[in-house]
Amino acid sequence: MKFKIVKLLLLVFILIPLCDYAQDKRPRQPNILFILADDLGYHDLSCTGSSYYETPNIDRIAREGAVFTEGYSACQVCSPSRASIMTGKFPARHGITDYIGAPYGTDWRKQGRHNQLLPAAYDTALRHAYTTLPEAMKAAGYKTFFAGKWHLGGRGSWPEDHGFDINRGGWEKGGPSGGYFSPWENPNLENTVPGENLSMRLAAETVKFLKENNPQETGQPVFAFLSFYAVHGPIQTTRKKWEKYRDKADRSGIAEQGFKMEHFLPMRQVQDNPIYAGLVETMDDAVGVVLRALDEQGLAENTIVVFTSDNGGVSAGDAYSTSNLPLRGGKGYQFEGGVRVPYFMKVPGLTKGGEVYHTPVIGTDFYPTLLDLAGAGLKPQEHEDGVSLLPLLEGNTLSGRPLIWHYPHYGNQGGEPSSIIRQGPWKLIHYYEDGRDELYKLDADPRELTDVAKHHRRKVMELCATLDGYLKQTGARYPQPDPEYDADKERQYLQRVITEKLPQLERQRMEFLSPEFDPGNNWWGSEVTAMNPNVVIILADDLGYGDVGFNGCEDIPTPNIDRIARNGVKFTDAYVTYAVCGPSRAGLITGRYQDRFGFGRNPLLAPNDPDMGLPLSEQTLADLLKPAGYRTMAIGKWHLGSHASLHPNNRGFDDFFGFLSGGHHYFPEQWTLNSEFDARSQYDGYRTKLLRNSDAVDESEYLTDALSREAVRFVKDNASAPFFLYLAYNAPHTPLQATSKYLDRFTHIADEKRRTYAAMVSAMDDGIGQVLDELDALGITDHTMVVFLSDNGGPEAANASDNGPLRGGKGSFFDGGLRVPFAIQWPDHIRRGTVCHSPVISLDIAATVVATIDQTHPPKNELDGINLLPVLNNADTASRSRLFFWRNFDKKMLALRSTDFKLVMQDGHTPSLFRIGDDVAEKNNLFTGHASTVDGLHKQWQKWASELKDPAFLGLLQDKEYSEQRKDRFGQP
């Protein structure tokens, strides 16, 4: 018997891991995200020494991974370098030695530069005989994806022809045809949103691929190659980013001279181009979108991230964009500025962050390194000129192999036909015009200022022999003397460059830095003036004033809600129009005090009563926006009436996803009623299925997650036209319910109620982050007004919320019931990091939106709010004398807020008067001794109240009475 038990236990222990393995689809191989920038210089990042450009997201890769300080591209121009990454071969071997499309042979004469040599011919497409890196990854079981610049051949030699399952934007062109703002000209990347930024779109396509092919769900690892067109010319940016970097250059002091003549062309000496800086920052923003997606999808811990550039920064020729100093030269040049590039690798489980390697490495090394890291087995017959860096990452050393460059061309940037070999600290450059050799010892002379060839003849001979042997072995092609060469014509050309081009570049540089600069084309199409702004209103339910990070919360992180405040304005003294949800929402959605139309109570669930909710005499914000061409959607909690005539689809919203009642359970298994007609009591509304428009749907996700999902979908589907999204979360309204995914984040909170509340807030914050990320990914953040607030203060006893220093909570007319977290981001109009201490109210949201759109149908009812933009610009002094009013009809309670005072009165109680600016907790009642102030404020309130209506319907407090009066309250009519 004992023997049988032991055998059974052994069988159980054997089967448990097998069962776990069968259920766990996560791939054992790492995912790979390869990010390739175009023409980004070694010093064009904050982390590599730039004090002008700002690149926090790329810096993150460097900070969390390994940095190779002597990382090289395989060529000083793009196509050869990219081909080397794909093949593991140096350009002399794979045959693409210049950018595809460059003139060679006698066609070079058309450039009018009168050079001595005719550039060599080169391959114009990647050879199909090679097994490329993506083909090797596919063979190893990877799903492969490419987005962005390809430039390795025309149709038949596109990314999908060389191992990529999916291609978004890759074709033969080497630059962003049509520019960086939609509409662009790209047969493999459709235009969807006018003015959309290309870098952000490529990031969005990458994120879409990661979501649709999440390895944790599919079990298949992914290899995603994000190949930016940025920062290749033409350089373009938005007005906002240009202003930022123009001002930054001005603060730093603008140098009198920005260029210096090199051999063939002027070369930029300073980093102060605000257009290029904006282009760099946008690419960095796009990198951030993808990195955040890895984090949010749980992929970061098993994803290798590579970042590099295809060559050095453009300091001469093209757009003359940047300076690579202290490195000499730039794109197209034989010096370090042309070939040394950012070279970062983050390998989870191997790099811990902060590792710095000074060993020379090159673009051909990526192929064998990634195969090695993927456990796929090396292919030395393919990556002939690359070595795996895995031993180096594991703490070992690499042999001092030679690195070889072969560029038998002149190029657009002023470089010279040459071949280069580097071995150890020695770098030899062989020039084809005159056959000379230059030798530099880089450890002592990183700027390549001192040619030591004549002092080290033996080293020159040794390196030349190695270089010549390699070029002969690979069948390298060479430039040829031009029999029509005329030295006088070349001298005349160079003199014109000095006398005409150099001054022209200096003038252009100062134009870019002038406060009056305007490219005259709506900032390259980034400003779509005909389109009204998008509007997103995010409404929390019963969230405490002190439960967001921007109001000081310490135990519940809200990074995404805080992001709205950080990217725009946070309001310290922001109010809603009532201290419970229904009336507050009626005021918000109409922009009018709800008591003007009899909405003074929380409406009941009464699907057969057309009077129970927002009267048809009132227009919603959606009603006001639809005539202006808006697509509108309400998501989440409605609570403005459940009769068909009051349904969101009949109140201005094209689409609706959510529930009609005032609250709801969060877990789908509790949604057992098909509709509100099946309810038999008020709180049966918590158990109804969610509605998509008027149809009940079977939903499987946690309520907050489902609402967030639908919000992201709506934004994505409607990005090409102005849209209004009303995202009304139920969270963190009771019942307190959360999934383990969110609860597990708050094991440090001992109180179970507070812990569940925190998890609910965190779920909402995650969803808000998804919406913000989608706006970023679509490139429409700047043009979108995003508002966040709560419908009233937190009911601290009921849901463990925290109203911070404020007195009272939900239902109270003290500030704890009426003052709420409130933030708006709108980069086109609101300065980042603004803090507004002027009192504002939720009524102002509708007024601000209406004031800033082009409309042909003004509101039929007068709005009670004001446009907040003048307030934020300190241009509206009248707002400082505003009065806010509140009335609770049933409790005979009132409140009024002026700039300095807050009055609270209720029948049978002593009036309360507070100097609210000095007494935020409303502790010191100044009623005694300030009777005249109380009387004056009360008269103001009475004047306002004279315009109000009594409640038009019985509310939540009259639930029993209403049910007795309306026997037809539930059931189909």
Question: Side-chain half-sphere of 912: how many Cα atoms within 13 Å?
Answer: 23
Phi-psi region of 524 (alpha: psi -120 to 50; beta: other; left: phi over 0): left
622 vs 594: CA distance, rounded Å: 17
> Could you tell me if 559 and 769 are in contact, meaning their C-beta atoms sit under 8 angstroms apart?
yes
Q: What is the DSSP letter of 436?
A: -
Among 657, 655, 658, smallest CA distance to 631 is for: 655
Among 738, 330, 313, 724, smallest CA distance to 536 is for: 724
CA distances from 197 to 239, 313, 936 (A): 13, 21, 55
Among 473, 469, 464, smallest CA distance to 438 is for: 464
> Could you tell me if 677 and 972 are in contact, meaning their C-beta atoms sit under 8 angstroms apart?
yes
Q: What is the DSSP letter of 552?
A: T
Count CB-CB contacts under 10 A for residue 600: 24
560 vs 711: CA distance, rounded Å: 15
CA distances from 76 to 257, 314, 316, 884 (A): 26, 10, 13, 65
Question: Side-chain half-sphere of 385: how many Cα atoms within 13 Å?
Answer: 26
3-state SS, 928-973, equals CCCHHHHHHHHHHHHHHHCCCCCCCCCEHHHHHHHHHHCCCCCCCC
CA distances from 732 to 81, 204, 636 (A): 53, 30, 13
Tokens representing residue 874 in the block: 């300190």
> Could you tell me if 688 and 710 are in contact, meaning their C-beta atoms sit under 8 angstroms apart?
no
End-to-end Cα spacing for the chain? 69
> Could you tell me if 586 and 614 are in contact, meaning their C-beta atoms sit under 8 angstroms apart?
yes
Written as one string, the DSSP assignment of 815-859 is HHHHB--EEEE-TTTS-TTEEE-S-EETHHHHHHHHHTS--SS--
User: Alpha helix (H) ranges present in 269-425?
Assistant: 274-296, 336-339, 366-373, 390-393
Phi-psi region of 179 (alpha: psi -120 to 50; beta: other; left: phi over 0): left
Handedness of CA 6, 11, 14, 19 (dihedral sign): negative
> Could you tell me if 435 and 417 are in contact, meaning their C-beta atoms sit under 8 angstroms apart?
no
- To the nearest 10°, report the CA torsion of 55, 60, 63, 66: -100
What residues are paired with 727 via a beta bridge? 538, 635
> Could you tell me if 420 and 410 are in contact, meaning their C-beta atoms sit under 8 angstroms apart?
no
> Could you tell me if 438 and 508 are in contact, meaning their C-beta atoms sit under 8 angstroms apart?
no
Tokens representing residue 468 in the block: 């010549």
Q: Which residues are catalytic?
A: 581, 639
823 vs 350: CA distance, rounded Å: 41
Tokens representing residue 308 in the block: 């590099």
Strands 343-346 and 655-659: unpaired
Among 763, 777, 867, 781, smallest CA distance to 825 is for: 781
Rg of the chain (C-alpha set): 33
618 vs 270: CA distance, rounded Å: 60
531 vs 193: CA distance, rounded Å: 11
652 vs 630: CA distance, rounded Å: 10
